[in-house]
Structure 1
Amino acid sequence: MLTKDEKKTELKVLNQVLAVCEDGKSFYQHAAREVDSASLRRVFLEQAQARREAIQELTEEVQHREGSPVDNGTVSGTLQQWYTDIRASLSDSQDYQFIVALEEAETRSLNELKQAVRSLHNPRLASKLGSHLATIQLAHDRMKSIKDDMKRTHH
């Protein structure tokens, strides 16, 4: 049985992960609207959909614990989008700038989520969040692979 403090920690962690997923969803949707490449647009929309699915599942977890789920991302996520827009507008390769920024964002997301999972005392919830970590790790690896391919062919 979890203590009251452990339950509060779970809700805090779930909402932290929700906010990170909201950041990812928002950034991928934004990038999909901004890039020139149709293939990148598809990749970004796929990633945004994966985040929507995670958000739905995590929202249900928060509600199951009688908490109030967050429905927006973080300030740092918003600032990252603005910064990327500026970098992209000044670049010869806007698509590349979005890939670089998304890989960086995924790295930060992974670090935040790993810390969050470590703070949990509930193995079932830690396992569930671990599956979202795996999804974000795959997204990170995909962005890195695309970035490396673009760097070899364009830079």
Structure 2
Amino acid sequence: MSNQTQDVTKIADTIKVLQGGIDFYQKAIGEVDSSNVQHMFRRMIKGKEEAIESLQPFAIKEQGERETDSDWMVSTRKIYTQLIGKMSSDEDHTYIKQLEEVEDRVLEVLDEALKHDQPESCLIALRTIRAKAQQMHDEMKALQEATA
């Protein structure tokens, strides 16, 4: 039996997507009118912040420091949404639709990280975060359908 230490993989990428999602939700809070939607966005931010904190030790193991950057795809989607939101008759739905896409991206990056041979403690964290991310995705999908 080997006592070799496993490397972590794709954790920094996962944090970047989560951070991008936080940035996007923070911007969206100021753009949507519904206080219920704003409250939901705050819950999404809190969930992503908790996920990032639990993953940071693995990011440090992966790259030697905390990950603080955002995913460029999520940042680009945020800018795109700001532009189309200004032209839309239903800005709330525009943000909700695009944020549901961000939730899709979160699930994708978590699934990618879970495909790799990770240390057991990292796998446990990723699986826990993946379950919560699925719940957040499902909430955003339901909100998107309700506002369509």
Q: TM-score, normalised by structure 2?
A: 0.90
Give the C-alpha shift of residue 20 in structure 1: 1.3
Unmatched tracts of structure 2, length 5 or more: none
Q: Which residue of 2 aligns with 1:62?
A: 59
The CA deviation string for residues 62-97 of structure 1, in whole angstroms up to 9 with x for no partner, is 346682121021111110100111111111000000
Unmatched tracts of structure 1, length 5 or more: none
Residue 87 (structure 2) pairs with residue 90 (structure 1): yes
The answer to whether the 8 Å contact 2:16/2:68 transfers is yes
Bigger relative contact order (CA 8 A; separation at least 6): 2
Q: TM-score, normalised by structure 1?
A: 0.86
Identity of aligned residues (%): 25
Mapped partners of 2:63, 2:110: distance in 1: 22
The CA deviation string for residues 96-121 of structure 1, in whole angstroms up to 9 with x for no partner, is 00110011111122112101111133
Q: Which residue of 1 aligns with 2:138?
A: 141
Residue 106 (structure 2) pairs with residue 109 (structure 1): yes
* Higher helix proportion (structure 1 or 2): 1
What amino acid is aligned across from residue 70 of structure 1 in structure 2?
A: E
Give the aligned length.
146
Range 47-56 or range 96-105, more displaced: 47-56
Give the C-alpha shift of residue 51 in structure 1: 1.1
The CA deviation string for residues 32-55 of structure 1, in whole angstroms up to 9 with x for no partner, is 111111110000011111111111
